[in-house]
Structure 1
Amino acid sequence: MIASDLLDARVLEADGQAVGWVVDLRLVLDGTTDGILARPRLHGLVVSPRTRTSFLGFERSDVRSPWPIAPLLRRWHRGTFLVHWPDVARVPEPDDADHPGPAVVVLRPGYLRYDATLHR
């Protein structure tokens, strides 16, 4: 699987209820060293209930300008949350017979929603 397989995928709870779309991925560099940096690991998915568009970097808590764009994107993405990768039950391939069409991410029962805001 590559990152673009997950971006813009529809996200469903275990019971089939739609909760949004994957708008970003969160990676961490905490693995073994691969050259100069640690190898990246997928930490979780950022899910937006209202839009399929990216935050364009405005998910950072200290970004306040340009004035009309920052508040507009925050409002547009209200309710966005982070789901840790272990809470993802299944990521079917787009050609999966059970889920024809675009890729769908299915979350585990009892998954937790975390704040998607990036803080310094």
Structure 2
Amino acid sequence: MILSDLLDAVVVDADGRRLGFVVDVRLVLDGPLDGLLEAPRLHGLLVSPRTGTSFLGYERTDETAPALLAHWLRRRHRGTFLVLWPDVADADVVRPDEVRTGAERVVRLRPGYDRWDPALTRH
């Protein structure tokens, strides 16, 4: 699987209730050294209940300019949450020999998954 296969996939809970769409992924650099940096690991998925479009970087809490665009994107993505990768039970993504649209791809979450704040802050 490649990460772009997850983007725009429908996310459902363990009972099959639709929660939204995968709009982005979160990676962490904590794997074995790969050159100068640690290898990336998939940390979680950002799930938006309203849209399959990206935050365009405005999930960072200190990004506010241009103000009109920042306000519009934050409003459009209200209710978005981060779900950690271990809470994903199944990701039915496209195999190399098939072509399917994003709406046909499904990510199913485990029972009792946690919703985390999607905001990024700079340290």
When normalised by structure 1's length, the TM-score is: 0.93
Task: Output aligned runs, 1:1-120, within 5 Å.
Answer: 1-94=1-94, 102-120=104-122
Partners of 2:93 and 2:76 in 1: CA distance: 29
1:51-103: per-residue Cα shift (whole Å, max 9, x none)? 110000000000111011000100000000000000000011346xxxx8621
Cα RMSD (Å): 1.3
Partners of 2:93 and 2:54 in 1: CA distance: 22
Q: What secondary structure sits across from 1:31 in the alignment?
A: strand
Partners of 1:85 and 1:93 in 2: CA distance: 15
What is the aligned length? 116
5+ residue gaps, structure 1: none
5+ residue gaps, structure 2: none
